[in-house]
Amino acid sequence: MRSFNRRAVLQAGAAGAIVSLLPDSGLTQSAGETETHGLSAFGELKYPTGFKHFDYVNPQAPKGGALVLQIKQTTGNQNFDTFNTLNIYVLRGDGAAGMGATFDSLMAGSGDEPDALYGLVARSVRVSADKLTYRFILRPEARFHDGSKLTAKDAAFSLNVLKEKGHPVYRALLTQMASAEAEADDVLRVQFTPQRSRDLHLVVAGLPILSERYWQGKDFEASTLEAPLGSGPYKVGKFETGRFIEFERVPDYWAKDLPVNVGQNNFDRIRWEYFRDRTVAFEAFKNGTLNYHEEYTSRIWSTGYDFPAVREGKVKKEEISNDSPATIQGWYFNTRREAFKDPRIREAIGLAFDFEWTNANIMFGLYKRTTSYFENSDMKATGMPSPEELALLEPFRSQLPASVFGEPPVPPVSDGSGQDRRLLRRADELLRAAGCKREGGTLKLPNGQPFRIEFLDFQAALQPHTQPFQANLKRLGIDAFSRVVDAAQYQRRMEEFDFDMASRNLVGGSTPGDSLRVVYGSQAAKTPGSRNIAGISHPAVDTLVETIANAESRQELNTACRALDRILRSGHYWVPMWYRASEWIAYWDQFSRPERKPRFGSGAPGTWWYDAEKAKRIGRG
């Protein structure tokens, strides 16, 4: 999935950059080890030893003001509508937005590169010749917020506790970490198993560093409203459970002048507001309660920004291009349930969704249809399989559908009527071929039970898109309906895989690796709380995920991803939705920004800063 800078405030505490090692990036040799200031995948590091700051920041950016926004992306145990714990790294509870900004990691990511990390707590890393031992050399000045020293013992404790007691995502990612121990206060030694995946050392480098002393005598897996001791650029301020949480910039933050931080973390205060309804959230932006807003609803983007503050120039609206792979959004089937085990049934259900009608009538024609699990990237499968792809697929030919070895399946283009009879007839044929029978107006499954599908969600924003889809399913005799539950119940049901179909928006990445294991792997399919909500479990998928995680070149990576894409698309594990290769943002005109943005992202609002003069001009100073 997409590589995140975990500490960036705009990512709502994402889990960390997941990248891989560059075999030749200005490294120096010492005692049989190779030492480097940064790590990257398949190419030279952009920034050399001794670089001063990233090119896309303003190193003189002033500090001050407040950023007020709504959570738009989640990680770990977070959900969009509420929170009841300040520990986001375990399964229990609903984690608060923004907590990632209170913790430092060994290394931090660059927005100019798809998969690069540079030293943060670790000033450098020494790599053994067999790449099974990594020694991270820590900065002696690293400190927690209470002034206590951050040492290799804290880093070792963090990795071990996340592997043993952390959220299932972290446990899965750290499976091939054999040990983590402190050789000295400033030397963390991490040992990997011989089966280690390509990206594992950078998973380690991007995870949060927790205080061992703070957690002594505490239950790491329990929910808590006591802010865990951190070392990052922000610390927890005021909050009301389920309503808002504020973070205060740490003025004497120990790492504020490091190259990976210069020009960032510019707001004195960051406040995350929670809303159970998107309409209410947008009204909060219009009245100035929120001052930054990323829009996801095409109807609002097209028609909702004609309010006084926009007309008066107080609110700005922009579309900013993004070179990152598209997000993977769709309605996912729970294939653990008997009704969805047959791929013909899943394919038939997908034929009932009329994207062309939905895009034209509900989304103002602003979207493209998602067809691939690696949409908008070179990893997307196209045409017939290449010889290199076939070499990966052939060992599993007897276990795979014939479509894997032809043109990759794509969703059909409808006539735009909303109920394309040709596609519905084809869906009916597939359902009958799978053993379903029609009795009057009711379709019955092969076991004789009426076919019912509950679409689970925690908010009603997608109802206009889902209801026409459900209407077509009813024409096929399927009792399709929505159940919108509160966020906490939704979270629990998804963690326990207690659903028929559910919408999910997964974030793509330029260099996928270990993270695919927790999204598509067989072990994750049976692990409560994992991201493999579809229940995908196939030996070919597992093998290709490992091939991707261990690819030694971009070409190898692309080939393996294309092969995996063919298998997943032929499995019809989802009904793909739509995407756009840009970000829609709106904000009250009280910010300034650097002259250029990072290549892989908008830079908003992480590289922005509060502009007192602008705020005064619009009456918000």
Neighbours of 344 (CB within 10 A): 18
My answer on whether 349 and 487 are in the same domain is yes
**Rg of the chain on CA atoms, in Å:** 24
Average pLDDT over residues 22-43: 66
My answer on whether 207 and 352 are in the same domain is no
What is the pLDDT at residue 10?
A: 30
Which range of residues forms the domain containing residue 614? 234-323+581-618
Average pLDDT over residues 136-161: 98
Q: Is residue 135 part of a domain?
A: yes
- DSSP strand E in 129-243: where? 133-138, 177-184, 187-192, 234-240
Q: How many domains does the chain have?
A: 3
Confidence of residue 12 (pLDDT cuts 50, 70, 90): very low
Residues 183-196 have pLDDT tens digits of 999 999 999 999 88
Residues 387-433 have pLDDT tens digits of 999 999 999 999 999 999 999 999 999 999 999 999 999 999 999 99
For the domain that residue 590 is a member of, what is the CATH number? 3.40.190.10
Which of 44-58, 401-415, 497-511 has the weakest average pLDDT? 497-511
What is the pLDDT at residue 418?
A: 97
Q: Is residue 414 part of a domain?
A: yes
Residues 391-400 have pLDDT tens digits of 999 999 999 9
pLDDT: is 11 or 440 the higher one?
440
pLDDT mean across residues, the chain: 92
My answer on whether 276 and 310 are in the same domain is yes
pTM: 0.79
My answer on whether 396 and 460 are in the same domain is yes
Residues 573-620 have pLDDT tens digits of 999 999 988 899 999 999 999 999 998 888 999 999 999 999 999 999
Length of the chain: 621
As a three-state string, the secondary structure of 536-597 is CCCHHHHHHHHHHHCCCCHHHHHHHHHHHHHHHHHHCCEEECEECCEEEEEEECCEECCCCC
Q: Is residue 240 part of a domain?
A: yes
Q: Please, what is the angle between helix 421-433 and helix 343-351, to 10°?
A: 170
CB contact set of 328 (below 8 Å; sequence gap of 6+): 370, 373, 375, 505, 506, 507, 508
My answer on whether 297 and 346 are in the same domain is no
What is the pLDDT at residue 43?
A: 64
My answer on whether 428 and 573 are in the same domain is yes
| Tokens of residue 608, six digits | 């922005």
My answer on whether 349 and 253 are in the same domain is no
My answer on whether 459 and 526 are in the same domain is yes
Confidence of residue 30 (pLDDT cuts 50, 70, 90): low
Residues 66-111 have pLDDT tens digits of 999 999 888 889 988 899 999 999 999 999 999 999 999 999 999 9
Q: Is residue 28 part of a domain?
A: no
Torsion of CA 169, 172, 173, 175, to 10 degrees: 150
For residue 566, pLDDT over 90 is answered with yes
Preceding omega of 140 cis (within 30 degrees of 0)? no
Instruction: Please say which residue of 183, 215, 247 terminates a domain.
Output: 215
Question: Distance (Å, rounded) from C-alpha 301 to C-alpha 295?
Answer: 7
Instruction: Please say which residue of 148, 180, 215 terminates a domain.
Output: 215
Confidence of residue 483 (pLDDT cuts 50, 70, 90): very high
What is the pLDDT at residue 510?
A: 85
My answer on whether 196 and 277 are in the same domain is no
Q: Is residue 567 part of a domain?
A: yes
My answer on whether 518 and 562 are in the same domain is yes
